[in-house]
Amino acid sequence: MQTWKIEITEAHSGELGEAVLHEDHGFAMEEYTYEAGHKIEVAVHETHDPRWHIFTDLDSGHRFKIPPEKYRRV
């Protein structure tokens, strides 16, 4: 699996689990937030969809989806 380092360029929040098919997880949704300027190392899952890119934060282990205009690769 490929890894990238990304910087969040606009504050982004969502619910954990929304980036995983419902039949593939059995945990309650929790909210997450990344502030602008936050840099993280991620495992890359999907970057072909023009609306959402899917990553796993390697520090927390959380899989999340983010619009491509809200981050940049560093």
Q: Check whether 15 has a pLDDT greater than 70.
A: yes
Domain carrying residue 57: 3-73
- Predicted confidence (pLDDT) at residue 65 exceeds the cutoff of 70: yes
List pLDDT tens digits, range 25-45: 555 567 889 999 999 999 999
Sign of the C-alpha dihedral computed for residues 47, 40, 69 and 17 taken in this order: positive
Q: Which CATH number is 42's domain given?
A: 2.30.30
In this prediction the pTM is 0.84
Burial of 52 per CB tally in 10 Å (0-12, 13-18, 19+): middle
Total domains in the fold of the chain: 1
The answer to whether residue 24 scores a pLDDT higher than 60 is no
Rounded CA-CA distance 17/35 in Å is 19
